[in-house]
C-alpha cells in the first residue's frame, strides 16, 4: 500500500472533513512508495521519529503535527526544523497525519475510544453539535469516587493523578467527555452534563473551570496525550483490520509530562 492510499481510504469515508481544508495528508516524504509496515503514534516527536527509523519502518501514521503548528506548513519555511527533517529524509521516512477524520470516526475514533477506556460504555447518550464531545450516562456516584476511578485508569497511560475542581461529595451521572481542544464547557452544558472531563490543551482555568465551578459542576482535567492515546490503539487495530497489505504497530506515548514533587 502507498501512503497516499492510506490518506484516501480515510478521507473517502469521512464526509465531515473538508478535503480543501484538512491537515489529513502526507506531511513529508514519498507519498507513492509502497509500504508493508507502519507505526502509529499520537505525537510525531523527534524521539518517535527515531524510534520508527530504528525499526526500519518507512511509514509513520500520526495524529498531531510534525512541525509544531496545527497546519503543518512546509518544513522549508521553518529553519529550526532542520535536525528533525534530516532524520526523516536520511531514512526515507514518510509521515501521514490522520487528525480530522479520526477525531470523529464512528465507534472507534478518538472520543469513542476515550469513553470506552474510561469505562463509560459503548454508545454515548448525547453528542455535541460539532461531533467531538459526548455525554455518557452512568449510575450516580460521588464526584470524588468518579475522579479516583478515572485516575486509576489513566495511571496506565503515565498519568496517575487527575486535576479535580468542585464538590467531592456531589453526585454525578451525566459525564461529558472530549479530547484535545474539543472540551468546550458550554457544549457540555448544552448536552445536560453534570460533570465535565476536560483536557489541558483545550481548557483555561480562569474561563472554563471557573465557569463550571460557579455553576456547581465538578470537572476533571487530564493531559492531551492521555485522552487521545486510547484512540491511537484503535487506529492501529483499524489499519490492521481494514487496510489490506499494511501491518500497523502502535508506539505507546501516553501522558506528555511527569509529576515532580
Q: Walk me through the domains of the chain, giving residue ranges and CATH numbers.
A: 3-101 (3.40.1390.30), 110-226 (3.40.1390.30)
Q: Identify the weakest region by mean pLDDT among 37-41, 49-53, 130-134, 153-157.
A: 130-134
Residue 77 has pLDDT above 70, yes or no: no
Q: Could you tell me what percent of the chain has a pLDDT over 70? A: 98
pLDDT of 129 reads 79
pLDDT of 80 reads 80
pLDDT of 122 reads 82
Mean pLDDT of the chain: 95
pLDDT of 130 reads 85
Contacts 24+ apart (CB under 8 A), 242-245: 242/9, 243/1, 243/6, 243/9, 244/1, 245/1, 245/36
pLDDT of 75 reads 72
Dist CA 209 CA 136 (whole Å): 20
pTM: 0.96
Q: Burial-class residue 16 by CB neighbours within 10 Å (0-12, 13-18, 19+).
A: exposed
Section 140-161 average pLDDT: 98
Q: For the beta carbon of residue 18, count every other beta carbon within 10 angstroms.
A: 9
Closest CA to 10 of 237, 239, 251: 239
Q: Identify the weakest region by mean pLDDT among 73-87, 150-164, 222-236.
A: 73-87
Three-state SS at 14? coil
pLDDT tens for 212-235 read 999 999 999 999 999 999 999 999
Section 56-65 average pLDDT: 98
158: left (phi over 0), alpha (psi -120 to 50) or beta: left
Residue 72 has pLDDT above 90, yes or no: no
pLDDT tens for 93-134 read 999 999 999 999 999 999 999 999 999 988 999 999 788 999
Q: Which residue has the cell 498531531?
A: 64
Q: Could you tell me what percent of the chain has a pLDDT over 90? A: 89
pLDDT of 238 reads 98
Strand 59-62 relative to strand 171-177: parallel, antiparallel, unpaired?
unpaired
Section 187-193 average pLDDT: 95
Residues in Cβ contact with 179 at an 8 Å cutoff, skipping those fewer than 6 apart:
103, 110, 111, 114, 132, 199, 224, 227, 228, 231
Contacts 24+ apart (CB under 8 A), 125-130: 125/174, 126/191, 126/192, 127/191, 128/178, 128/184, 128/187, 128/188, 128/190, 128/191, 129/187, 129/190, 130/182, 130/187
pLDDT of 7 reads 98
Torsion of CA 82, 93, 223, 192, to 10 degrees: 120
Dist CA 26 CA 243 (whole Å): 17
- Identify the helix (H) or strand (E) that includes residue 173: strand 171-177
pLDDT of 191 reads 96
CB 198 within 8 A of CB 184: no
Helix boundaries (H) for 15-65:
46-54
Query: Residue 244 — pLDDT band, cuts 50, 70, 90?
Result: very high
C-alpha 120 chain-centroid distance: 17
Section 54-69 average pLDDT: 96
Amino acid at each position: 500500500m502507498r501512503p497516499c492510499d492510506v490518506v484516501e481510504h480515510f478521507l473517502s469515508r469521512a464526509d465531515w472533513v473538508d478535503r480543501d481544508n484538512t491537515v489529513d495528508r502526507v506531511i513529508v516524504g514519498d507519498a507513492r512508495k509502497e509500504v508493508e509496515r507502519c507505526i502509529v503514534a499520537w505525537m510525531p516527536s523527534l524521539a518517535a521519529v527515531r524510534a520508527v527509523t530504528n525499526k526500519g519502518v518507512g511509514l509513520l501514521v500520526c495524529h498531531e503535527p510534525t512541525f509544531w503548528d496545527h497546519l503543518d506548513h512546509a518544513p522549508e519555511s521553518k529553519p529550526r526544523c532542520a535536525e528533525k527533517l534530516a532524520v526523516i529524509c536520511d531514512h526515507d521516512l514518510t509521515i501521514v497525519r490522520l487528525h480530522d477524520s479520526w477525531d470523529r470516526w464512528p465507534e472507534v475514533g478518538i472520543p469513542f475510544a476515550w469513553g470506552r477506556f474510561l469505562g463509560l460504555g459503548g454508545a454515548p447518550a448525547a453528542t455535541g453539535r460539532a461531533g467531538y464531545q459526548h455525554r455518557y450516562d452512568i449510575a450516580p456516584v460521588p464526584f470524588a469516587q468518579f475522579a479516583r476511578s478515572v485516575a486509576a485508569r489513566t495511571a496506565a497511560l503515565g498519568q496517575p493523578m487527575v486535576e479535580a475542581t468542585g464538590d467531592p461529595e456531589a453526585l454525578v451521572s451525566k459525564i461529558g467527555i472530549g479530547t484535545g481542544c474539543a472540551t468546550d464547557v458550554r457544549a457540555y452544558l448544552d448536552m445536560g452534563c453534570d460533570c465535565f472531563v476536560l483536557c489541558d490543551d483545550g481548557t483555561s482555568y480562569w474561563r472554563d473551570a471557573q465557569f463550571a465551578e460557579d455553576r456547581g459542576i465538578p470537572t476533571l482535567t487530564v493531559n492531551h496525550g492521555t485522552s487521545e492515546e486510547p484512540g491511537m490503539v484503535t487506529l492501529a487495530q483499524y489499519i490492521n483490520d481494514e487496510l489490506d497489505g499494511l501491518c500497523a504497530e502502535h508506539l505507546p506515548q501516553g501522558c506528555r509530562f511527569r509529576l515532580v514533587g
